Amino acid sequence: MRIVVKIGTSNLCDSQGRLDAEKIDGFSRQLIKLYQDGHQLLVVSSGAVGAGIGAVGRRPRTVQEKQALAAVGQAHLIHAWHQHLGTVIPAQILVSGYDLTVEERRRNSSRTLEQLVAWGILPIINENDSVADEEIRIGDNDTLAARVACLMVADLLILLSDVDGLFTDDPNRHAGAQKIVQVSWVTREHFNATAESGPFGTGGMATKLQAAIICQDQGIPMVLANGQVPEVLSRIIAGDRDCGTWFMAHRGEDVEK
Ligand code: GLU
Protein backbone atom coordinates (compact mmCIF):
# COMPACT_ATOMS: atom_id res chain seq x y z
CA MET A 1 0.00 0.00 0.00
CA ARG A 2 1.03 3.59 -0.54
CA ILE A 3 0.47 5.36 2.78
CA VAL A 4 0.81 8.99 3.85
CA VAL A 5 1.36 9.35 7.61
CA LYS A 6 0.96 12.74 9.27
CA ILE A 7 2.59 13.05 12.68
CA GLY A 8 1.53 16.08 14.71
CA THR A 9 3.61 18.34 16.93
CA SER A 10 2.15 16.88 20.13
CA ASN A 11 3.37 13.43 19.05
CA LEU A 12 6.93 14.60 18.47
CA CYS A 13 7.63 17.19 21.15
CA ASP A 14 7.55 17.13 24.95
CA SER A 15 5.37 19.41 27.08
CA GLN A 16 7.98 22.16 26.82
CA GLY A 17 7.89 22.02 23.02
CA ARG A 18 11.32 20.42 22.69
CA LEU A 19 11.74 17.59 20.21
CA ASP A 20 11.46 14.31 22.07
CA ALA A 21 14.07 11.86 20.76
CA GLU A 22 12.27 8.88 22.27
CA LYS A 23 9.06 9.71 20.44
CA ILE A 24 10.88 10.12 17.12
CA ASP A 25 12.64 6.84 17.76
CA GLY A 26 9.32 5.09 18.41
CA PHE A 27 7.79 6.29 15.15
CA SER A 28 10.99 5.52 13.27
CA ARG A 29 10.83 1.89 14.44
CA GLN A 30 7.24 1.61 13.28
CA LEU A 31 8.05 3.18 9.91
CA ILE A 32 11.05 0.89 9.39
CA LYS A 33 8.80 -2.10 10.04
CA LEU A 34 6.29 -0.91 7.44
CA TYR A 35 9.13 -0.53 4.94
CA GLN A 36 10.19 -4.09 5.65
CA ASP A 37 6.61 -5.18 4.99
CA GLY A 38 6.88 -3.62 1.54
CA HIS A 39 4.73 -0.48 1.96
CA GLN A 40 5.47 2.81 0.22
CA LEU A 41 5.55 5.64 2.73
CA LEU A 42 5.46 9.42 2.83
CA VAL A 43 5.55 11.27 6.15
CA VAL A 44 4.16 14.74 6.85
CA SER A 45 6.04 15.76 9.98
CA SER A 46 5.06 18.74 12.10
CA GLY A 47 7.26 19.94 14.90
CA ALA A 48 9.43 22.58 13.21
CA VAL A 49 8.02 25.51 15.15
CA GLY A 50 7.93 23.44 18.33
CA ALA A 51 11.52 22.32 17.89
CA GLY A 52 12.54 25.94 17.19
CA ILE A 53 10.87 27.05 20.43
CA GLY A 54 12.78 24.34 22.30
CA ALA A 55 16.11 25.16 20.65
CA VAL A 56 16.00 28.96 20.91
CA GLY A 57 14.12 29.11 24.20
CA ARG A 58 11.63 31.72 22.99
CA ARG A 59 7.90 31.67 22.38
CA PRO A 60 6.91 33.44 19.14
CA ARG A 61 5.01 36.72 19.55
CA THR A 62 4.84 37.67 15.87
CA VAL A 63 4.53 35.86 12.55
CA GLN A 64 8.17 36.71 11.80
CA GLU A 65 9.30 35.16 15.05
CA LYS A 66 7.33 32.02 14.31
CA GLN A 67 8.84 31.81 10.83
CA ALA A 68 12.33 32.31 12.21
CA LEU A 69 11.78 29.59 14.83
CA ALA A 70 10.52 27.23 12.10
CA ALA A 71 13.78 27.79 10.19
CA VAL A 72 15.79 26.71 13.25
CA GLY A 73 13.45 23.89 14.19
CA GLN A 74 13.19 22.34 10.72
CA ALA A 75 16.92 21.60 10.75
CA HIS A 76 16.62 19.94 14.17
CA LEU A 77 13.59 17.99 13.01
CA ILE A 78 15.22 16.45 9.93
CA HIS A 79 18.40 15.77 11.86
CA ALA A 80 16.39 13.88 14.49
CA TRP A 81 14.57 11.78 11.87
CA HIS A 82 17.87 11.05 10.16
CA GLN A 83 19.40 9.89 13.44
CA HIS A 84 16.61 7.44 14.21
CA LEU A 85 15.60 6.00 10.83
CA GLY A 86 18.51 3.58 10.61
CA THR A 87 19.04 2.43 7.04
CA VAL A 88 15.94 4.25 5.77
CA ILE A 89 17.13 7.49 4.15
CA PRO A 90 14.95 10.53 4.84
CA ALA A 91 14.53 13.39 2.33
CA GLN A 92 13.31 16.85 3.30
CA ILE A 93 10.53 18.32 1.17
CA LEU A 94 9.21 21.77 2.09
CA VAL A 95 6.17 22.95 0.16
CA SER A 96 3.91 25.97 -0.11
CA GLY A 97 0.29 26.04 -1.30
CA TYR A 98 1.42 26.76 -4.88
CA ASP A 99 3.46 23.58 -5.03
CA LEU A 100 0.29 21.55 -4.59
CA THR A 101 -2.17 23.65 -6.61
CA VAL A 102 -0.45 25.34 -9.60
CA GLU A 103 -0.36 22.66 -12.29
CA GLU A 104 3.30 22.90 -13.31
CA ARG A 105 4.53 23.02 -9.72
CA ARG A 106 2.22 20.17 -8.77
CA ARG A 107 3.74 18.08 -11.53
CA ASN A 108 7.26 18.94 -10.34
CA SER A 109 6.40 18.12 -6.74
CA SER A 110 4.85 14.79 -7.65
CA ARG A 111 7.76 13.83 -9.93
CA THR A 112 10.28 14.43 -7.16
CA LEU A 113 8.19 12.56 -4.62
CA GLU A 114 7.65 9.65 -7.05
CA GLN A 115 11.41 9.42 -7.60
CA LEU A 116 12.09 9.32 -3.87
CA VAL A 117 9.41 6.69 -3.30
CA ALA A 118 10.79 4.62 -6.21
CA TRP A 119 14.22 4.68 -4.56
CA GLY A 120 12.76 3.62 -1.22
CA ILE A 121 13.69 6.95 0.32
CA LEU A 122 11.32 8.40 2.91
CA PRO A 123 10.03 11.89 2.00
CA ILE A 124 9.55 13.94 5.18
CA ILE A 125 7.26 16.76 4.16
CA ASN A 126 6.39 19.99 5.94
CA GLU A 127 5.09 23.38 4.97
CA ASN A 128 7.82 25.87 4.10
CA ASP A 129 6.81 27.86 7.17
CA SER A 130 9.79 30.22 7.11
CA VAL A 131 8.85 31.94 3.86
CA ALA A 132 5.16 31.12 3.33
CA ASP A 133 3.03 34.28 3.48
CA GLU A 134 -0.74 34.56 3.81
CA GLU A 135 -1.31 34.14 0.09
CA ILE A 136 0.54 30.86 -0.35
CA ARG A 137 0.16 29.31 3.10
CA ILE A 138 -1.52 25.97 3.49
CA GLY A 139 -1.74 26.72 7.20
CA ASP A 140 -1.91 23.32 8.84
CA ASN A 141 -0.39 19.92 8.28
CA ASP A 142 -3.69 18.03 8.30
CA THR A 143 -4.68 19.80 5.08
CA LEU A 144 -1.14 19.47 3.74
CA ALA A 145 -1.19 15.71 4.38
CA ALA A 146 -4.57 15.32 2.66
CA ARG A 147 -3.31 17.23 -0.38
CA VAL A 148 -0.16 15.12 -0.51
CA ALA A 149 -2.28 11.96 -0.30
CA CYS A 150 -4.31 13.19 -3.29
CA LEU A 151 -1.23 14.30 -5.25
CA MET A 152 0.41 10.92 -4.76
CA VAL A 153 -2.82 8.92 -5.19
CA ALA A 154 -2.24 7.24 -1.84
CA ASP A 155 -4.22 4.19 -0.73
CA LEU A 156 -4.55 5.53 2.80
CA LEU A 157 -3.92 8.66 4.87
CA ILE A 158 -3.18 8.20 8.56
CA LEU A 159 -3.42 11.34 10.72
CA LEU A 160 -1.70 10.81 14.05
CA SER A 161 -2.58 13.24 16.79
CA ASP A 162 -3.03 13.31 20.57
CA VAL A 163 -6.71 12.40 20.34
CA ASP A 164 -8.10 8.88 20.05
CA GLY A 165 -10.31 9.83 17.11
CA LEU A 166 -13.46 11.79 16.41
CA PHE A 167 -15.92 11.91 19.31
CA THR A 168 -19.63 12.58 19.52
CA ASP A 169 -18.68 15.63 21.66
CA ASP A 170 -15.48 17.29 22.81
CA PRO A 171 -14.19 14.60 25.24
CA ASN A 172 -12.33 17.25 27.30
CA ARG A 173 -15.63 18.90 28.19
CA HIS A 174 -18.18 16.08 28.02
CA ALA A 175 -17.48 12.95 30.05
CA GLY A 176 -20.06 10.95 28.11
CA ALA A 177 -18.48 11.65 24.69
CA GLN A 178 -18.12 8.46 22.63
CA LYS A 179 -15.50 7.73 20.01
CA ILE A 180 -16.97 7.34 16.54
CA VAL A 181 -15.59 4.20 14.90
CA GLN A 182 -16.48 4.97 11.30
CA VAL A 183 -17.62 8.02 9.34
CA SER A 184 -19.15 7.54 5.91
CA TRP A 185 -19.64 11.24 5.16
CA VAL A 186 -18.33 14.22 7.12
CA THR A 187 -21.26 16.47 8.00
CA ARG A 188 -21.81 19.77 9.80
CA GLU A 189 -22.64 17.86 13.00
CA HIS A 190 -19.15 16.40 13.10
CA PHE A 191 -17.70 19.90 13.21
CA ASN A 192 -19.54 20.43 16.51
CA ALA A 193 -16.98 18.11 18.06
CA THR A 194 -14.18 20.59 17.37
CA ALA A 195 -11.52 20.94 20.04
CA GLU A 196 -8.85 23.60 20.31
CA SER A 197 -5.34 22.71 19.17
CA GLY A 198 -2.54 22.15 21.67
CA PRO A 199 0.01 24.77 22.74
CA PHE A 200 2.55 24.19 19.95
CA GLY A 201 0.60 22.68 17.05
CA THR A 202 -1.94 24.05 14.62
CA GLY A 203 -5.33 22.72 13.76
CA GLY A 204 -7.64 21.04 16.22
CA MET A 205 -10.46 18.79 15.06
CA ALA A 206 -11.76 21.13 12.33
CA THR A 207 -8.66 20.77 10.16
CA LYS A 208 -8.81 16.98 10.58
CA LEU A 209 -12.38 16.95 9.33
CA GLN A 210 -11.37 19.17 6.40
CA ALA A 211 -8.61 16.70 5.60
CA ALA A 212 -11.16 13.87 5.69
CA ILE A 213 -13.42 15.77 3.26
CA ILE A 214 -10.51 16.34 0.84
CA CYS A 215 -9.63 12.63 0.98
CA GLN A 216 -13.18 11.32 0.81
CA ASP A 217 -13.82 13.41 -2.30
CA GLN A 218 -10.81 11.82 -3.97
CA GLY A 219 -11.66 8.27 -2.94
CA ILE A 220 -8.88 8.01 -0.36
CA PRO A 221 -9.69 6.53 3.06
CA MET A 222 -8.36 8.28 6.14
CA VAL A 223 -7.83 7.16 9.71
CA LEU A 224 -7.47 9.63 12.60
CA ALA A 225 -5.75 8.00 15.56
CA ASN A 226 -3.72 8.66 18.67
CA GLY A 227 0.00 8.52 17.95
CA GLN A 228 0.68 7.36 21.51
CA VAL A 229 -1.07 4.02 20.98
CA PRO A 230 1.64 1.31 20.79
CA GLU A 231 2.18 -0.02 17.25
CA VAL A 232 -0.56 2.30 16.03
CA LEU A 233 0.55 2.19 12.39
CA SER A 234 0.65 -1.61 12.11
CA ARG A 235 -2.67 -1.87 13.91
CA ILE A 236 -4.35 0.50 11.47
CA ILE A 237 -2.86 -1.25 8.47
CA ALA A 238 -4.13 -4.55 9.87
CA GLY A 239 -7.62 -2.98 9.93
CA ASP A 240 -8.01 -2.73 13.71
CA ARG A 241 -11.23 -0.75 14.18
CA ASP A 242 -10.54 -0.23 17.90
CA CYS A 243 -7.85 2.13 16.76
CA GLY A 244 -8.98 5.63 15.77
CA THR A 245 -11.85 6.84 13.61
CA TRP A 246 -12.09 5.51 10.08
CA PHE A 247 -13.28 7.90 7.37
CA MET A 248 -14.47 5.84 4.46
CA ALA A 249 -13.47 6.61 0.89
CA HIS A 250 -16.20 7.34 -1.59
CA ARG A 251 -16.27 5.97 -5.12
CA GLY A 252 -17.29 2.68 -3.51
CA GLU A 253 -13.85 2.03 -2.06
CA ASP A 254 -13.32 0.62 1.40
CA VAL A 255 -10.41 1.16 3.78
CA GLU A 256 -9.71 -2.54 4.00
CA LYS A 257 -7.82 -3.16 0.79
N1 GLU B 1 4.30 23.30 9.97
C2 GLU B 1 4.16 23.44 11.41
C3 GLU B 1 5.41 22.97 12.13
O4 GLU B 1 6.17 22.21 11.58
C5 GLU B 1 3.04 22.59 11.95
C6 GLU B 1 1.70 22.88 11.44
C7 GLU B 1 0.70 21.88 11.99
O8 GLU B 1 1.00 21.16 12.93
O9 GLU B 1 -0.41 21.81 11.47
O10 GLU B 1 5.62 23.34 13.26
Where do the structural domains in the chain lie, given as residue ranges? 2-247
CA distances from 147 to 95, 101, 137, 216, 235 (A): 11, 9, 13, 12, 24
**Nearest Cα residue to 195 out of 175, 219, 169:** 169
Ligand 1 atom showing the smallest separation from residue 141 Cα: 9
**DSSP E strand boundaries for 128-189:** 156-161, 182-183
In this structure, the residues whose C-beta lies within 6 A of any atom of ligand 1 are: 8-9, 46-50, 70, 126-127, 129, 140-141, 201-203
Kindly give, in sequence order, each residue whose CB lies less than 8 Å from that of residue 102, ignoring residues fewer than 6 positions away.
Answer: none
Residue nearest to atom 2 of ligand 1 (CA): 46
Compute the distance between CA of residue 146 and CA of residue 213 in angstroms, rounded to an integer. 9
**Single-letter amino acid code for the residue at 83:** Q
- Furthest-apart CA pair in the chain: how many Å? 50
Q: Measured in angstroms, how far is the CA atom of residue 176 from the centroid of ligand 1?
A: 31
Tell me which H or E stretch contains 190: helix 188-191
Ligand 1 atom showing the smallest separation from residue 49 Cα: 10
**Nearest Cα residue to 231 out of 171, 181, 158:** 158
Q: Measured in angstroms, how far is the CA atom of residue 126 from the centroid of ligand 1?
A: 7
Contact (Cβ atoms closer than 8 angstroms) between residue 51 and residue 251: no
pLDDT tens by residue, the chain, 257 residues: 999 999 999 899 888 778 899 999 999 999 999 999 999 999 999 999 989 998 999 999 999 999 999 999 999 999 999 999 999 999 999 999 888 889 999 999 999 999 999 999 999 999 998 888 776 788 899 999 999 999 999 999 999 999 899 988 877 778 888 899 999 988 888 887 665 545 445 557 889 999 999 999 999 999 999 999 999 999 999 999 999 999 998 754 444 44
* CATH T-level assignment (fold) for domain 2-247: Carbamate kinase (3.40.1160)
Compute the distance between CA of residue 36 and CA of residue 246 in angstroms, rounded to an integer. 25
pTM of the model: 0.92
Q: Measured in angstroms, how far is the CA atom of residue 182 from the centroid of ligand 1?
A: 26
Q: Is 120 left (phi over 0), alpha (psi -120 to 50) or beta?
A: left
Tell me which H or E stretch contains 41: strand 40-45
